[in-house]
Amino acid sequence: MALVRAAVVVLDCAEPEKLAAFYKELLGAEEIVATANRVEIKGVDGMRMAFRRDMNVTPPSWPRPEDSFQAHIDFHVDDLDEVELRVIGLGGRALDTRDAAGPYEERGYSDPAGHSFTLRRTPSTAPKQG
């Protein structure tokens, strides 16, 4: 029997309701818990995120070195351009959208509260059709 059954990525922010709405739309998620200081969502693939109120939070400054990465999230996507448009439309901000060399293409963004995340396109492992 596992001692740990689930994990939740928790981001501190001044306005958890607004940040939860951003990720809820981005991930096609549903809200599962909301209190005065915390909102938790669950994505269609089971990924869970929570947003905790902290009025003194300082967002990371990546790519500037001052407060660089505190943590970041990788999201796997099929179409970088399509998801980028959605991120920007929801209030996110591009940080590093140069295509990385190698087998994985990735681009860096921040959510409306300044937390950084990466959209990563991974090569398909399915056999080619036709």
pLDDT surpassing 90 at residue 121: no
| Cis check: omega of the bond before 63, within 30 degrees of 0 | yes
Across 14-23, 79-88, 114-123, least confident range:
114-123
User: So what CATH class is 58-130?
Assistant: alpha beta
pLDDT in tens, 9-28: 889 899 999 999 999 999 99
Angle between helices 16-27 and 80-89 (to 10 degrees): 150
Q: What does the alpha-carbon distance between residue 51 and residue 110 come to, in Å, rounded to a whole number?
A: 15
pLDDT in tens, 52-79: 999 988 877 666 666 555 677 888 888 8
What is the pLDDT averaged over residues 77-90?
91
Domain boundaries defined on the chain? 7-56, 58-130
pLDDT surpassing 90 at residue 7: no
Q: Provide the b/e sequence for 96-125 (b: ≥16 CB within 10 Å).
A: eeeeeeeeebbbbbbbbbbbbbbbebeeee
Position 30 scores a pLDDT of 95
Is the CATH number of domain 7-56 3.20.20.150? Answer: no
pTM of the predicted structure, to 2 decimals: 0.70
Residue 30 token pair: 């549903």
